[in-house]
Structure 1
Amino acid sequence: MDNGSFALMQQLEQLYIDHHSWLSSLLRRKLSNSSDAADLAHDVYLNLIRKGGVPSAENCRRHLTQIAKGMVIDLYRRRRLEAIHLEALREQPEPLVPSEEVRALAVEALSHVDAALRNQPSKARQALLMHKLSGMGHRDIAAELKVSVSSVEKYIASGLRACTPYAVKRRPFR
């Protein structure tokens, strides 16, 4: 470990010592669930480790709060997707209901697609969702996003490429 990495780890350790209990308490109030709060609090610090940076002392709580809010939104989004998927499965006639394994794979694929889309630039994510979920045409999306039709085409292609590795492959009926 070089001196820069060692210094970063020391700064992260001090940030953790100084603010972890405050952050955990904040998340417990937001989530009303100490288990989820503890998981997300640790994920905030993992996020900082991945990014390789520590906020300045005067901005650390604001920065930690911002990361935590994003993770809470992601948690609720993931749970909403799971609930929608499970509800759709419950509404299917019995012979068409997939096995638990297929359900778990579908939920996992949805989580990966959600993460892949979150890693896309905002306009690319919006363009793909407008096209696929709302059925909007390229010109309408371009007008909405205030970009060219060519940009919309690139955004949608980029979003599709990001999601393709996680697409659930359907087996043919036999």
Structure 2
Amino acid sequence: MSDALPSADSHLRTVEALYSGHHGWLYARLRKRLGNALDAADLAQDTFTRILASKVAVFDNPRAYLNCVAGGILANWCQRKSLERAYLTALAQLPVPEAPSPEQRLLVLETLHEIDAMLDALPAVVRRTFLLSQLNGMKYAEIAEQLGVSLISVKRYMKQAFLQCLTLVE
């Protein structure tokens, strides 16, 4: 991969060549991993969309690059699916009168995806600190002890996480 920034036309031609030369291979690879043609097609398309939006100019090993980009997209997709399954499992345990409407379910799922993306954007230690506090109900001192960091670091991590949360509200 080269760091040279291509012109828009040059980049488009490069991605078009990459697409025409390797889309079938990537789709088949994803379909084999997922066992589902529709999801494989979506993820293959997402891979090329991400590459098109990037500024990568030259692909020394196109299939390795596609595999790497698709792997990241697949990991995010699996994480979203896991989140959806956990939410739907929790909903299934609610009595029917308390279950949200389909519209409310969709809104909650969209919000969960936004929160997940926000947390994914945080450094690992900040994300872990935030989750220990918010999901496990741990006190800052307990978190500091568990993570082996100072109390002031926990406070700084929490501030960073809360500021990131505010970006969702704005």
User: Shorter-chain TM-score category?
Assistant: 0.7 to 0.9
* CA root-mean-square deviation: 2.4
Q: Percent identity?
A: 34
Structure 2 unmatched runs, 5+? 1-5
Shift of 1:27: 0.4
- For 2:11 and 2:143, how far apart are their aligned partners in 1? 43
Structure 1 residue 9 corresponds to structure 2 residue 12? yes
Q: 1:18 aligns with which of 17, 21, 24?
A: 21
Please name the residue that 1:63 is paired with: 65
The 5-angstrom pairing of residues 1-174 of structure 1 reads 4-54=7-57, 56-58=59-61, 60-142=62-144, 145=147, 147-164=149-166, 166=168
More RCO (CA 8 Å, sep 6+): 2
Asked if 2 retains the 8 angstrom alpha-carbon contact of 1:109 and 1:166, the reply is no
CA distance in structure 1 between the aligned counterparts of 2:143 and 2:99, rounded to whole angstroms: 35
Separation in structure 2 between the aligned mates of residue 130 and residue 66 of structure 1, nearest angstrom: 30
* Larger mean Cα displacement after TM superposition, 15-24 or 153-162: 153-162
Partner SS, residue 7 of structure 2: helix
The verdict on how the C-alpha distance between 1:145 and 1:9 changes in structure 2, with shifts beyond 3 A counting, is farther
CA distance in 2 between partners of 1:63 and 1:130 (Å): 35
Any gaps of 5 or more consecutive residues in structure 1? 168-174
Q: Residue 120 of structure 1: SS of its match in structure 2?
A: coil
- What's the TM-score once normalised by structure 2's chain length? 0.82
* Letter paired with 2:18: L
* Amino acid aligned to 1:44: T
The DSSP-based 3-state class of the residue aligned with 1:135 is coil
Which amino acid in the other structure matches residue 41 of structure 1? A
TM-score (norm 1): 0.80
Q: C-alpha displacement at 1:159, in angstroms?
A: 2.3
Residues 9-43 of structure 1: CA deviation (Å, up to 9, x unaligned): 22212221222111111101110001100100111
Deviations 1:121-152 (CA, angstroms, capped at 9, x unpaired): 23222222232223334344445555443333
For residues 118 and 55 of structure 1, what CA distance do their matches in structure 2 show?
A: 28
